[in-house]
Amino acid sequence: MPDPIVSSTPPAEWSAQCARCHLLFHSSDWIKLLEASFDVKTDYLWDEDTGCGAALSSFKAGPFRIGYLGFPAGGLVGGIGPDAPTIEHWRSRGGEMSPVAIRIPVSGFVDVGEFELAYEATPETAIVDLPSWSLDNVSGNHRRDVQKGHRSKLEVMDASSDEDAAAVFAIYKETLKRRRGTMRYNATYFEKLVALARQRSDIRVMLAKFDEKISGFTVIVRHGAVASYLHGGIRLEFRHLQPSALLIHEGIEWAQAQGCSSFNLMSSPPGQPSLVWYKEKWGAETREHRTYVLPLRPSYRLFQAAERLYRRFR
């Protein structure tokens, strides 16, 4: 990408590239979902010579905007990931973009090298050989949980209405409260996600129901050759029925049917080894995920100071 074009609208080739390579997180549908759900501005970078580009979604953080490359997974259209010369070009064109800095997610399961940038590391867990995966090869506890879920008369179905989306959001909030997590998604996001899943075959918002009551949900998506577990949660009163195990198993089998090469259970917060252990018991392995930060403007230092204060006193 020797001289990328920066634009607020996608180039003519964009949609065709995304459709051909199954790039959900760079697609216009996904970007419109983010823009409709949050205060997001999008910058497109495109190199006409190589047919390679990037979508930067800039989220508002107080008076600042922080950009994310291909939110949430990273990567490029027409390529695996940015290289050092590409990043330097982005730095030189920073004044034409919305954010004060770009966060660049780099999966531990993608070989794009290392960058001379500051980064945050988290443990990322994935089933790396999905075509040969079998429930027979996972932890005995997980096998029993899946079998119990089948015996418990739980019914797995796809979310199909605004009422389903509202129930999913309620479970999401309950789950975060139990785990003392930070709420990053809102009701509009889940409403738009359910609506988009009805239109696209690469998104599934799955529900587990018992006596017509939603006991849990899981969101699985396909991006490229990788299926990813985006969100999930259960109602505690149904935990004994094992809706989470049943939904994850359903998601893995769906990803296999889609022809995906791997199933990414995504990054876990630092300091939660039990969560990493739970994911690995599905027959997965863990590597280091890095989120690099590329400052574009001097005001990024002010953002850093504000972010440190927020993390300290929240």
Q: What is the pLDDT of residue 3?
A: 64
What average pLDDT does the segment 87-105 reach? 89
pLDDT band (50, 70, 90) for residue 1: very low
pLDDT band (50, 70, 90) for residue 25: very high
The tens digit of pLDDT for each residue in 218-265 reads 999 999 999 999 999 999 999 999 999 999 999 999 999 999 999 999
What pTM, to 2 d.p., does this model score?
0.94
What average pLDDT does the segment 206-214 reach? 96
Q: What is the pLDDT of residue 182?
A: 83
> Shortest CA distance to 36 belongs to which of 187, 154, 254, 141?
187
What average pLDDT does the segment 298-314 reach? 78
What average pLDDT does the segment 59-82 reach? 91
The tens digit of pLDDT for each residue in 139-198 reads 889 999 999 999 998 999 999 999 999 999 999 999 998 888 888 999 999 999 999 999
What average pLDDT does the segment 10-19 reach? 89
The tens digit of pLDDT for each residue in 115-136 reads 999 999 999 999 999 999 999 9
